[in-house]
């Protein structure tokens, strides 16, 4: 049995074509079903539906053999003991610093002001501002970071940006592009040894699907940048 951990939403949707290329069809829609273990058309492949930030943990401890998760999650929550054979180039976005349109970020940084930064990505934000030599007070949030500068909780946020529409709708502007983000395939190292043939077959099918997608300049389901 091969167990693949996925999170609902964008990663799940964008993984379906890759699974299809490996001959795997998921038999239920996690948005409609309350089941957490989904069967596939392959009796020896199943999908676990887990929270995005839990994917590395399930794979690291062998609750799943493989998983798909964003680079943001791997950087923030660690990737110890995980084999990362492929950048799947799905769920693409960037991690950026944004502020209210009326906040003079450049002057605040130049003057060495201490910035209040709200984010779910405390480790990524700490490293980014430390490298720039900017002093920050980090405020950990779990969602709707865009709200924090609007109510004076923070001067800036560090968050994922895809189209930029959410920032725009909340009168925020992007002032720093920290890094590009996409989703990675992660594999449990023991599973890779014990179940080498079926895992390699899936990795190779995914790699071929990504290559085909790029060589044909197809819209492969990734978001507009
Ligand atoms: P957008 O309005 O398209 O820029 O999307 C921004 C919102 O979607 C923010 O709340 C982000 O946290 C979230 N978001 C954007 N891209 C991703 C992604 N690849 N994975 C998870 N959340 C994302």
> Residues 6 or more apart from 139 whose CB is under 8 A from it?
116, 117, 118, 119, 148, 153, 154
What is the arithmetic mean of pLDDT over 203-208?
Answer: 96
For residue 94, what are the contacts with CB-CB under 8 A and spacing of at least 6?
A: 160, 161, 162, 177, 178, 179, 180, 181, 225
Fold of 2-91+182-215: D-Maltodextrin-Binding Protein; domain 2 (3.40.190)
Per-residue confidence band for 225, with pLDDT thresholds at 50, 70 and 90: very low
CA distance 23 to 205: 9
Is 91's C-beta closer than 6 angstroms to any atom of ligand 1?
A: yes
Q: Which atom of ligand 1 is nearest to the CA of 183?
A: 19
Ligand 1 atom at minimum distance from 169 CA: 2
Residue 135 Cα to ligand 1 midpoint, Å, equals 26
Beta bridge partners of 99: 156, 173
CA of 162 to the centre of ligand 1 (A): 5
Q: Which of 7, 149, 162, 173 to mutate to test the pocket of ligand 1 (most atoms within 8 A of CB)?
A: 162
pLDDT at 219: 59
According to the model, what pLDDT value does residue 192 have? 96
Q: How far is residue 201's CA from residue 208's CA, in Å, rounded to a whole number?
A: 11
Nearest atom (ligand 1) to Cα of 165: 2
Residues 49-105 have pLDDT tens digits of 999 999 999 999 999 999 999 999 999 988 988 999 999 999 999 999 999 999 999
- In 3D, which of 65, 64, 33, 70 has the Cα closest to residue 50? 64
Q: Where are the domains of the chain?
A: 2-91+182-215, 93-181
pLDDT of residue 218: 57
Which pLDDT belongs to residue 44? 96
Same fold, 2-91+182-215 and 93-181: yes
Ligand 1 atom closest to the Cα of residue 182 is 19
Q: What is the pLDDT of residues 27-53, one digit of tens each?
A: 999 999 999 999 999 999 999 999 999
> Is the Cβ atom of 52 under 6 angstroms away from ligand 1?
no
Superfamily of 93-181 according to CATH: Periplasmic binding protein-like II (3.40.190.10)
Tokens 């995980």, located at residue:
82
Atom 12 (ligand 1) nearest CA: 160
The count of other CB atoms within 10 Å of the CB of residue 57 is 16
Q: Is 93 in the pocket of ligand 1 (CB under 6 A)?
A: yes
Can you tell me whether residue 170 is helix, strand or coil? coil
- C-alpha of residue 181 to centroid of ligand 1, in Å: 11
């Amino acid at each position: 049995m091969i167990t693949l951990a996925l999170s609902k939403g964008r990663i799940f949707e964008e993984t379906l074509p890759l699974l299809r290329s490996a001959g795997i069809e998921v038999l239920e829609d996690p948005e409609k079903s309350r089941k957490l273990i989904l069967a596939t058309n392959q009796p020896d492949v199943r999908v676990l539906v887990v929270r995005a930030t839990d994917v590395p943990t399930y794979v690291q401890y062998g609750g799943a053999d493989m998983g798909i998760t964003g680079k943001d999650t791997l950087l923030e929550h660690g990737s110890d003991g995980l084999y990362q054979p492929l950048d799947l180039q799905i769920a693409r976005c960037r991690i950026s610093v944004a502020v209210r349109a009326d906040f003079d970020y450049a002057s605040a940084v130049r003057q060495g002001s201490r910035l209040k930064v709200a984010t779910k990505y405390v480790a990524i934000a700490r490293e980014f501002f430390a490298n720039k030599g900017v002093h920050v007070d980090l405020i950990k949030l779990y969602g709707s970071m865009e709200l924090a500068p609007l109510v004076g909780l923070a001067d800036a946020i560090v968050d994922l940006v895809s189209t930029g529409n959410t920032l725009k709708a909340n009168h925020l502007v992007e002032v720093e592009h920290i890094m590009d983000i996409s989703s990675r395939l992660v594999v449990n190292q023991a599973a890779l040894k014990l179940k080498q043939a079926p895992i390699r077959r899936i990795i190779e099918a995914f790699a071929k699907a990504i290559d085909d997608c790029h060589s044909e300049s197809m819209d492969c389901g990734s978001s507009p940048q």
